[in-house]
């Protein structure tokens, strides 16, 4: 592209790519191989200092640290102190833990570096590590002095270099191969290069008398690449483009001037390669080279494995850290995590804390031993209760059935049957209907059973009190009193349950917090206060029954059912007093199992203490049931 400006002045444009492009390229290369601990070497001049000041913030921004920064002095002339300084810096770099070294210099930097292995210090000979990766910028060429043609290139094994983009030019390589210093068209520069490169002298020179060093048809393509490059390099290609740009621009300007008769002009050419190539120097790499075994690492600290996190060492760069395990309950899934994090609510950390595992869903089901056992007991006790109820109905005219209000006996047995069946509502996957009614059903059915026991004991006490002469309680004794006690006591519990059902009913819920590795499907009671109100009212009825029955225990033996009611209430209160701490200390399906077991055990206690002796007499000792009721008392003793 050519721009014409009709004003005096001169404009200069660099034909090589901008150096800033190389900085980004070096950074991308380092990040690609995950090299976070590197060295930086630059010449001690303005360009080198600019390079260092530019690289420091750029690399730090991307979490790359510098193990060392060396400024090598420029060697304009050989001085012992400067050479010693460079050698010392070189050995310090080679012994450093950083494997990767970024080198910024000029064309002959490599030629100077090739001196270093030959200038070993005596005290350093046995301590030199190997395996450094040199990353070089585009300003550095792989060049050598003539006397270095036979030197080894071990220091450059596997070096990475950014090169200015070049292109193959047709006929260039044959042109270079045909260069002959004996050709009259060649200039003196070619002759000097020839003699220095091949270590010989051309005829017709001042040294032609030295017969052993006469050049005899050497070919330039036999020179090593470190001494003479047969292909066009990036720097040469930039010069090639610059010359052609100027030529084309001048041609266009002259044509334009002749056409428009313009006498004043200036030219600006905008031809500049915008990219760099990246090349790898593998010069006679031997089997011992570390590239063949594994990709080289350059880290201040080993990578922190998943399940751990980084903790920066105090007083050191952020690339130097120690790895510590993640706290309990947290994970890290990738290497070199700065912090650990919690799993999602539906997952929990693995044992190694490097990934999350989905939680398993659990509830008190019919497919596990605990659920099967509770369901079996509920059905077994239900069958036993139904059998007793049928037996009592069949022998409803016998003295033992008629002795203590047989209607209350039937209601009590029926309520106990429902109590056993209520336990089944606590087993299985929680559903909206079962959650809504299981606690309410439990509270109402138990209140009916306890109301029947309270009515029985109060009726017995009043029955003996009315036998006293002049007692006014005779009108109160009868079926109406017992029925009113059962109905009124049950209605109170029904009202409590209705308030609970209206204001905050139970609902299915997935508890993901109480257990670390499981999701518990349960019924949320809605209101813990109402739940404990229901339990509290049942406790009140039980204590009332126990108190009345305890004072009625010394009544004549013919009516000593109060003793068995006392024992049954002791069992009932013991079960539910133990239930409260057990329920509060258990979680998940175990809290549900505790409540179901409490329902079964308290109901079984009432059934066994009150009705099992009567059932025994009706079925196995019928002769006692047909005698005077007084004889039954003898059995109870």
Pairing state between β 518-524 and 507-511:
antiparallel
User: What band does 157 get if pLDDT is binned at 50, 70 and 90?
Assistant: low
Residues 66 and 130 in one domain: yes
Indicate the residue among 161, 191, 211 that finishes a domain.
161
Give, in order, the Cα–Cα distances in Å from 102 to each of 30, 37, 117, 153.
10, 11, 19, 18
- Lowest pLDDT segment from 489-493, 498-502, 630-634: 630-634
User: Is 53 in the same domain as 128?
Assistant: yes
Specify whether 111 is located in the same domain as 177.
no
Highest mean pLDDT among 398-407, 423-432, 612-621: 423-432
Residue 208, pLDDT > 50, answer: no
Q: pLDDT tens for residues 224-234?
A: 766 677 777 77
42 has which bridge partners?
A: 71, 104
Q: How confident is the model at residue 289 (pLDDT cuts 50, 70, 90)?
A: very low
**Claim to verify: residue 410 and residue 487 sit in the same structural domain:** yes
User: Is residue 419 included in any domain, yes or no?
Assistant: yes
Of the chain, the percentage scoring pLDDT greater than 90 comes to 20
User: 202 and 110, same structural domain?
Assistant: no
Tens of pLDDT along 28-47? 888 888 888 899 988 888 88
The answer on 625 and 598 residing in a single domain is yes
Same domain, 215 and 142: no
The CA distance from 71 to 193, in Å, is: 32
Asked whether the predicted pLDDT for residue 513 surpasses 60, the reply is yes
Mean pLDDT of 164-171: 77
pLDDT reported for residue 375? 94
- pLDDT at position 338 is 87
| Shared-domain flag, residues 86 and 56 | yes
What average pLDDT does the structure give for the chain?
78
Which of 4-13, 184-193, 280-289, 358-367 reaches the highest mean pLDDT? 358-367
**Who has greater pLDDT, 179 or 438?**
438
- Do 522 and 400 lie in one domain? The reply is yes
Question: Which structure tokens are listed for 250?
Answer: 């001048």
Query: Residue 380: is its pLDDT beyond 90?
Result: yes
Structural domain count, the chain = 4
Instruction: Give the pLDDT confidence of 442-465 residue by residue, as tens digits.
Output: 999 999 999 998 888 887 777 666
Residues 424, 526 share a domain: yes
* pLDDT over 60 (residue 291): no
Confidence (pLDDT) at 3: 39
pLDDT reported for residue 132: 80
Q: How far is CA 629 from CA 212, 335, 557, in A?
A: 149, 87, 9
10 found inside a domain: no
Identify the domain containing residue 511 by its residue range.
369-636
Give the pLDDT band of residue 390 (cuts 50, 70, 90): very high
DSSP H or E stretch at residue 70: strand 65-72
Burial tier of 349 (Cβ tally within 10 Å: 0-12, 13-18, 19+): buried
Which are the contacts of 136, defined by CB distance < 8 A and separation ≥ 6?
Answer: 103, 105, 109, 110, 159, 160, 161, 162
Q: How far apart are CA 114 and CA 403, in angstroms?
A: 120
Quote the radius of gyration of the chain (alpha carbons, Å).
51
Q: Does 515 or 294 have the greater pLDDT score?
A: 515
Mean pLDDT lowest for which of 69-78, 86-95, 382-391, 552-561? 552-561
Q: Mean pLDDT check: name the lowest of 34-38, 461-465, 550-554, 598-602.
A: 461-465
Whether 297 is in a domain gets the answer no
Q: What is the CATH number for 80?
A: 3.40.50.2300
State if pTM tops 0.75: no
Give residue 279's pLDDT.
45
Q: Would you say residue 623 has pLDDT above 90? A: no
In this structure, the answer to whether residues 81 and 129 fall within a common structural domain is yes
Is 93 domain-assigned? yes
> According to the model, what pLDDT value does residue 111 have?
66
Answer with the residue of higher pLDDT: 594 or 174: 594
Task: Please check the confidence at residue 186 and state whether its pLDDT lies above 70.
Answer: no
Supply the pLDDT for residue 555.
Answer: 63
Residue-wise pLDDT for 336-349, tens only, equals: 888 999 988 889 99
Domain end (from 100, 128, 161):
161
418 and 440 Cβ atoms separated by less than 8 Å? no
pLDDT of 618 > 50? The answer is: yes
Question: Coil, strand, or helix at residue 314?
Answer: coil
Decide if 254 is inside a domain.
no
For residue 573, the domain's CATH number is: 1.20.1070.10
Query: Any residues with CB less than 8 A from the CB of 452 and at least 6 apart, and which?
Result: 408, 411, 412, 415, 486
Whether residue 565 is contained in a domain is answered as yes
Q: Tell whether 459 is covered by a domain.
A: yes
pLDDT digits (tens, 9 = 90+) for 232-267: 777 777 788 778 888 887 888 788 777 766 555 444
Residue 286 lies in a domain: no
* DSSP sequence for 264-302: --EEEE------EEEEEE--S--TT-GGGTS-----SSP
Q: In the block, which residue shows the tokens 């270099």?
A: 161
Residues 180 and 153 in one domain: no
Buried b / exposed e across 529-538, counting CB within 10 Å, b at 16+? ebbebbbebb
């Amino acid at each position: 592209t050519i721009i014409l400006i009709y004003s005096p002045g001169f404009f200069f444009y660099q034909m090589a790519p901008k150096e800033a492009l190389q900085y980004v390229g070096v950074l991308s290369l380092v990040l690609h191989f995950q090299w976070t601990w590197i060295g930086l070497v630059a010449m001690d001049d303005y360009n080198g200092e600019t390079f260092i000041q530019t690289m420091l913030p750029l690399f730090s921004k991307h979490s790359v640290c510098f193990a060392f920064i060396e400024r090598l002095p420029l060697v304009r002339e050989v001085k012992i102190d400067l050479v010693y300084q460079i050698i010392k810096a070189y050995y310090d770099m080679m012994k450093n833990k950083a494997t990767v070294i970024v080198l910024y210099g000029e064309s002959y930097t490599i030629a100077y570096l090739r001196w270093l292995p030959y200038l070993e210090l005596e005290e350093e000979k046995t301590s030199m590590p190997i395996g450094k990766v040199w990353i070089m910028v585009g300003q550095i060429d792989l060049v050598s002095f003539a006397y270095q043609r036979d030197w080894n290139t071990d220091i450059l094994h596997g070096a990475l270099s950014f090169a200015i983009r070049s292109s193959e030019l047709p006929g260039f390589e044959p042109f270079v191969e045909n260069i002959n210093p004996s050709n009259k068209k060649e200039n003196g520069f070619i002759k000097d290069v020839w003699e220095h490169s091949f270590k010989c002298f051309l005829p017709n020179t001042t040294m032609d008398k030295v017969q052993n060093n006469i050049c005899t048809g050497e070919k330039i393509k036999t020179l090593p690449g470190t001494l003479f490059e047969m292909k066009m390099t990036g720097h040469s290609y930039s010069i090639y483009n610059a010359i052609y740009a100027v030529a084309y621009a001048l041609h266009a300007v002259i044509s334009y001037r002749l056409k428009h008769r313009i006498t004043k002009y200036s030219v600006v050419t905008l031809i500049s390669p915008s990219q760099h190539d990246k090349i790898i120097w593998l010069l006679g790499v031997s089997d011992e080279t570390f590239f063949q075994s594994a990709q080289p690492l350059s880290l201040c600290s080993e990578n922190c494995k998943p399940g751990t996190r980084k903790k920066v060492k105090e007083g050191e760069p952020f690339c130097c850290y120690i790895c510590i395990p993640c706290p309990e309950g947290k994970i890290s899934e990738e290497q070199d995590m700065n912090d650990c994090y919690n799993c999602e609510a539906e997952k929990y950390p693995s044992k190694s804390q490097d990934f999350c595992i989905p939680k398993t869903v659990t509830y008190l089901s019919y497919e596990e031993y605990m659920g099967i056992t509770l369901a079996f007991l509920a059905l077994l006790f239900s069958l036993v209760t139904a059998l007793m109820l049928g037996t009592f109905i069949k022998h409803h005219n016998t003295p033992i059935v008629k002795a203590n209000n047989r209607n209350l006996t039937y209601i009590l047995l029926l309520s106990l049957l429902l109590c056993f069946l209520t336990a089944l509502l606590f087993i299985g996957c929680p559903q909206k209907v079962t959650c809504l009614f299981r606690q309410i059903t439990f509270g109402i059915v138990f209140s009916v059973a306890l109301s029947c026991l309270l009515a029985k004991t109060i009726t017995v006490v009043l029955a003996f009190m009315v036998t006293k002469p002049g007692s006014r309680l005779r009108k109160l004794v009868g079926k109406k009193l017992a029925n009113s006690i059962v109905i009124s006591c049950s209605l109170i519990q029904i009202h409590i349950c209705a308030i609970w059902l209206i204001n905050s009913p139970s609902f299915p819920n997935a508890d993901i917090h109480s257990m670390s590795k499981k999701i518990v499907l349960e019924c949320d009671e809605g209101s813990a206060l109402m739940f404990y109100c229901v339990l509290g009212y049942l406790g009140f009825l039980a204590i009332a029954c126990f108190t009345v029955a305890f004072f009625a225990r010394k009544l004549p033996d013919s009516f000593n059912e109060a003793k068995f009611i006392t024992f049954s209430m002791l069992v009932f209160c013991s079960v539910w007093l133990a239930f409260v701490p057990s329920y509060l200390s258990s979680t998940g399906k175990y809290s549900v199992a505790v409540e179901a077991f409490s329902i079964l055990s308290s109901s079984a206690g009432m059934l066994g203490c009150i009705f099992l002796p009567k059932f025994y007499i009706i079925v196995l000792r019928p002769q006692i049931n047909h005698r005077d009721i007084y004889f039954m008392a003898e059995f109870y003793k």
